[in-house]
Amino acid sequence: MFRSTTLALLVSSATCAWAQDGTLTLPTSTVNATADNPKQATALDLDQAIESGSRLNLSARENPASVSVADRKTMERIGARNFQDVANALPGVNASAPPGWGGYVAYRGFNGAQISQLFNGINLQYGGAARPVGAWIYDRVELLGGPSSFLNGSGAVGGSLNVITKLANRDGDTSEGRVSYGRYDTWETAVGFNKALNSGDGPRHYARLDYSRTNTNGYIDRQENGAGNLAFSLLSDINDQLSHTLAIEYLQEQEDSPYWGTPVLQPLVGTLHIDKHNRFNNYNVEDGRYEQRTRWLRSITDYRFDDNTQLRNTFYHYNGQRDYRNLEVYRYNADNSAIARSGGYRQRHDQHVNGDRIELTHQNQLFGLASDWAFGLDYNSNQQTNYPLSKGAFDTVDPNGFEPDHFLDIPGMDAPRSKGRSTTTDTSSAFVENRTRLTDQLSLVSALRYDHIDFDVVDHVARTRFDRRWDAFTGRLGLVYDLTSDISLYTQYSTSAEPPGGTLTSASISQVGDFDLSTGRQIEVGSKLDFLDGRGSATAAAYRIVRKDISVPSSTVPNTTEQAGQQTSTGIELATSFKVTPTLLAAGNFSWVNAEYDEFNETIGGVVYSRKGKTPVNIPDRVANLWLTYDLTPGWQIGADARYVASVYANTANTSWVPSYTVYGLSMTHDLDKQVQLSARLRNLTDEVYARFVHQTNTQYYLGEPRSLEFAVQWRYF
């Protein structure tokens, strides 16, 4: 009964207005809105400028595209702990973090490299680098739906997710912090400070420091994780026209005996199941390990010529090292009495990215019409070297009791570390955007980008080398019509271009070969509106994306791609935030997508099979979220939430699939005073057993978190 009622509320909330991308910022714990200002209560600001949708400083209402934002208040209200928690609050996104996939995201019928993951607008071009780190240093996460190569370069046929970290600001001195404790001995300790360093005439300086540390024993046996995140920035106002920001972020993570998934029971057809009695078993070796150490450096210079013309230059540097040492593959025998373990793998990634981006924005007139422009150049060099060592079968164990053994028990794993493959991707880009107001109600928004990609790969084992160059032109053309001051309609056509193999950073010679760029195009229509005198806000979108000349992971040969011909995704996205009463807020989103291959012939055992009409692996056709928050008194608030993800296929033949799931949560917050808040949060209320991801070649569940309770105290002083 509880599940049926909650899902009914979810559908009702999502359909009360057509919506697709609203900022799901829930209200603060004390509601101050009155009947004279009902819009304040929804905390859904469609007029807020969003940098991830354009370089023209457009708001969500002004942008002819699906643009969603989860800001700092949203993260705190939903209890977001890392990037995946934040991303999953956005319409249509299904994110998880299995170790071998890093930051896995499925959106609009696409996944992996087809969804660009940006760090402050910078693309590392490698999903494995997007591991989930603590959300404390984030200011917000922004989502742009559909092809967005015009903004962020190659890739992004499904969309772009941009993590934006906190920076020093001029808003005054603040100090804040958070301490939390939850099930599985899960701790978080975080602090943040923003301070003006001087006053008076002359240059002014402002500094910000944020640090967080998380530790957990994990909900899988022997899976322990510790991570630390440090962010420092210095903002210097040299004079009224010139300012500079220096930003440094350091992220470190170590996971012992990483969980690579739970093997599914035989036979591997139809609905896949696991042995729930052994769902917490960890079949990795005792001393399995995943580690990452990353460092970001950004130097941002802003110069304002006048009120209409500004120049920004961003130099950026990234250094990352990732280490894997695991036994990764587990499969039941025919009668499900034993598990064969294989896939011993040792790997190191050394990645370095250096780049510089210059942007000029200018507001002027074109043929007597108000016209805003953005011009820019971008160059970056992305280098990565891997050091792989892999072995096949290891042993067979009894799932009801076994010794995990150690990594060096796997024959051959004590070999010296040696280079496997090095890649260098140099990208030179030029871009231009324009927004021209054709009338007081109608605006034309356009963009064009050129990317020259110079790729070089060296296979150190085979002693071979390969280089390739591509040129890509991408863009968009959109119209925004203000039907009223509260309702806007839009339509857009946009394109994308993507390197073969999905990502060049980790590509092998066989994955690139003589392949051309994969291309995509999208047609999208939508609306963004406030309704009921500002008590609610909503957005909506319907889209169709066609992607050609694509590569997909082979379902039979690991680390190999196959040409799939063409894929089409058609869907809708809805989101809304509605103040039902002065004390009750409902917010939710819903997405539906029909993703299928139009052309794809897969070869298995020398036999060619057509996959036309089949759905790609790990793509749910429906994803929905609902949040309800109720203010008991000015200092007490309770909340409930629900998330539904439809079933996903586990192979390209669509003969096996993982069940759908719904997880529920409850929360309570209490303001001790204006500065200090206590909270309690219960996750996965019904202790649902569900798979957030299924390994295609290994056929292993990556299980979601069981029921857990968390307590936290958070403070903020001004």
pLDDT in tens, 665-702: 999 999 999 999 999 999 999 999 999 888 867 789 89
Q: Encode 199-223: b = buried (16+ Cβ within 10 Å), e = exposed.
A: eeeeebbbbbbbbbbbebebbbebb
- Report the range out of 88-102, 477-491, 515-529 with the highest average pLDDT: 477-491
Lowest mean pLDDT among 48-57, 304-313, 677-686: 48-57
Per-residue model confidence as pLDDT tens digits over 371-395: 999 999 999 999 999 999 998 899 9
Q: Secondary structure of the chain: what % helix, strand, coil (to 5)?
A: 10, 55, 35
The stretch 170-195 carries a mean pLDDT of 96
HEC profile for 193-228?
A: EEEECCCCCCCEEEEEEEEEEEEECCCCCCCEEEEE
Q: Give the DSSP H or E segment for 254.
A: strand 242-256
How much is the pLDDT for 37?
A: 38
What is the model's pLDDT at position 665?
97
Q: How do 159-165 and 115-119 pair as beta strands? A: parallel
CA distance linking residue 230 with residue 232, whole number of Å:
7
**In terms of pLDDT, which residue wins out, 100 or 667?**
667
The reported pLDDT for the residue numbered 23 is 37
If one compares 390 and 125, the residue with the highest pLDDT of the two is: 390
Q: 293: which residues sit within 8 A by CB, 6+ positions away? A: 251, 252, 320, 321
pLDDT at 44: 59
Element at 541 (helix H, strand E): strand 536-548
Answer with the residue of higher pLDDT: 506 or 305: 305
Q: Which residue has the tokens 């350091």?
A: 250
Q: Tens digits of per-residue pLDDT, 415-435?
A: 999 999 999 999 999 999 999
Q: What is the pLDDT of residue 125?
A: 81
**Beta-ladder partners of 5:** none
Considering only residues 6 and 367, tell me which one the structure prediction assigns the higher pLDDT: 367
**Hey, is 160 helix, strand or coil?**
strand
Q: Across the chain, what does the average pLDDT equal? A: 89
Q: How large a percentage of the chain has pLDDT more than 90?
A: 75
Confidence class for position 10, pLDDT limits 50, 70, 90: very low
Calpha distance 595→544 (Å, rounded): 10
Tokens of 423: 């890649």
> Domains along the chain?
51-164 (2.170.130.10), 165-424+431-717 (2.40.170.20)
Under the banding of pLDDT at 50, 70 and 90, the label for residue 224 is very high
Residue 282 pLDDT more than 70?
A: yes
The reply to whether the predicted model has a pTM over 0.85 is yes
User: Can you tell me whether residue 39 is helix, strand or coil?
Assistant: helix
